[in-house]
Structure formats: C-alpha cells, structure tokens
Amino acid sequence: MREYKKYYITLPGGELYEIERPLVMAVINVTDDSFYSASRVTTNANALRARTRQLIEDGADIIDVGACSTRPGSEPVALGEEIDRLLRSLPIIKEEAEKSKRRVPVSVDSYRSAVVKACHEAVGIDIVNDISGGTLDDSMWQTVARLRLPYVLTHVKGTPRTMAAMTDYRDGVAAEVLEDMAKKLDSLRQMGVNDVIVDPGFGFAKTIEQNYQLASCLELFHSLNAPLLVGFSRKKMITEVLGCRADEALNGTTVLNTVALLAGAHILRVHDAKEAREAVRLIEALRRNSVMINKIETTDKSEI
C-alpha cells in the first residue's frame, strides 16, 4: 500500500485547504442528461437543499456541480442554459455547504470559461473541474489563472460527442496520458496556476481495457507532484464488465475506489458519498496500522 502524501491547495481569498486524507467529491447534476439518473437534481430549491444536505451528512468533502452532461456521445446544452441552471442552483448549494461544521468547497464542473467567469462573479466558487483539460476552450486556463481558482486538469481527447472513437494510443494509454498531463501541468504552472489537481480521465477517450490498464498504473501519476483525483463512479468500465446497469454499479464502484485509495489517490469523485467515505475510513485505518506493524518489525530487527 502506497504511503499517503499530503497536499495543500489555496482556495479563493487565500484560504489554505489541507488534503490531509483522501477526500470525497460528491456530484450534483442539475441536468436531465446525466448518464446516471439518480444523480440528477432539478433546480427546485427544496430538492437542491435536501440533496446537498444529504451528501454532506454522508461525508462529502467537496460538492461538484454540473449543468451540462459530458457523458460519451452527449451534445452540449446552450451556453446560456448552462449558466442559468448553475446560477439558480449554486446559491442554494453554497448556503447548505456553509452551514456545515467543516469546510465544504463547491466546485463547478464545466469546460466553458464563460460559465466559470459568470458563476464566480455572481456567486463565488472554490474549484473549477474541467473535463476537457483546456482543450475545448482556449480561454479557460487564462480565466482560471486570472481568478486564482484551483483547477482539476482532466485528460481527454476530442469532445464528449467524439471521444468514444478517439482511443488510439500509439505508446500505450498510461504513457501517453502521463506525458500529456505533464506537459499541460507545466504550461499551467508557467501561467501561474499552481493549485492543480490531476484526473487521468477514466471513461474519456479510453476503451474498457484501456481504463483498466490506466487504473493498474495509477501510482505513476504521483510523479506529477499534484493531488490525484479519480472518477470511476458507476461508469461503463464497471457496468460492461459486470453486466449490470449504472444503478446496480455501486459495489463495483467501491471496489475500484478502494484500488485507487491503495494507490494513494487524494480525491474520489462519486455519486454516493456515504460508501466512498466508508472506503476512505477503512483504508485509512489499514494505513495507520500498517505503519505500526512496520515500526514493530523495524524495532524487532534492530534488537536482534
């Protein structure tokens, strides 16, 4: 089991946020086109309050809000519609998050810089989660740099509509994804974006087999010297292997989340906060006791 490495990110206003243990990023989709229907929440205030409150009670550390589906094959909603959905939802979600006894940052899941700018100016957001890694909007990185927002850098090729056909990796999926992310991470840091979280992009421009090849190499991504986020939750890489539907894929999700935690992942992006938080607690208990055993073994050897 890999030793866990702590990181700090700076949230808006200069607030230092410590990733002292693996975090749970819980999803709220204010869209009717998300691949997992149970994650969809209307912009009705009561429904949003109830969903946000439940996720936080279940152990969510970050709330990630999206208003435009990015599932493979999906078509984007109009820019104005995405902004409108978020501006109606974010104030309610943020209000509930601020009621928590612990700090619960709110992230916006969008690849459009205009969405990020509008949400930050109107409501205030803590993190930008861009599934395109800056490839679908030339202004995204400059916007994030100017607003000084932490940024989730995700690997993808193509667009949500075309990504399923863009799975050719000449040098192997892990090597090419790592190289691509290293280059982009360097560019972001040169622009002054220092608070970057890396996401290998499971399900985005990867076959089922490539997703598992990538999952088996997760420890390689620690070489990027950035917090590592993984998003397996209820995805096709689980449902196709198990022959089940997305609403039956919770157990498979937990298994892969556990694999990621053993590899030292820092953030689990999930639909089900309670089960993810329980996985974190168990792996942390295992990690603590593994350290104790190692110390005992070292002491025993030194006394011989």
Query: Which of 51, 85, 157, 235 is an active site residue?
Result: 235
Range with the lowest mean pLDDT among 82-86, 189-193, 291-295?
291-295
Dihedral sign for Cα 195, 63, 248, 250, please: positive
The mean of the pLDDT values for the chain is 91
- Mean pLDDT over residues 77-106, rounded? 95
Beta carbons of 29 and 47 less than 8 angstroms apart: no
- The percent of residues above 90 in pLDDT, for the chain, comes to 80
**Mean pLDDT along residues 104-132:** 97
d(CA 55, CA 107): 14
Mean pLDDT of the 200-207 span: 95
> In what helix (H) or strand (E) does residue 9 lie, and over which residues does it extend?
strand 7-11
pTM for the full predicted model: 0.92
Nearest to 205 by CA among 237, 249, 241: 237
**pLDDT of 211 strictly over 80:** yes
Domains identified in the chain and CATH numbers = 7-303 (3.20.20.20)
Percentage with pLDDT > 70 across the chain: 90
Annotated catalytic residue within 94, 157, 236, 269: 269
Active site residue 269: yes
Told to judge if 274 belongs to the known catalytic residues of this protein, a careful annotator would answer no
- 99-131 per-residue burial string, b: 16 or more CB within 10 A, e: under 16: eeeeebbbbbbbbbbbbbbbbbeebebbbbbbb
Query: pLDDT-derived band of residue 242, with 50, 70 and 90 as boundaries?
Result: very high
| pLDDT tens-digit readout, 14-39 | 999 999 999 999 999 987 665 445 55
Per-residue pLDDT band at 51 (split at 50, 70, 90): very high
Collect all residues with Cβ–Cβ distance below 8 Å to 92 and sequence separation of at least 6: 45, 48, 49, 52
CA distance linking residue 292 with residue 124, whole number of Å: 43
pLDDT at 244 over 60: yes
Residue with tokens 């927002």: 149
> What's the pLDDT band for 158 if we cut at 50, 70, 90?
confident
Q: Does the structure show a pLDDT above 60 at 299?
A: no
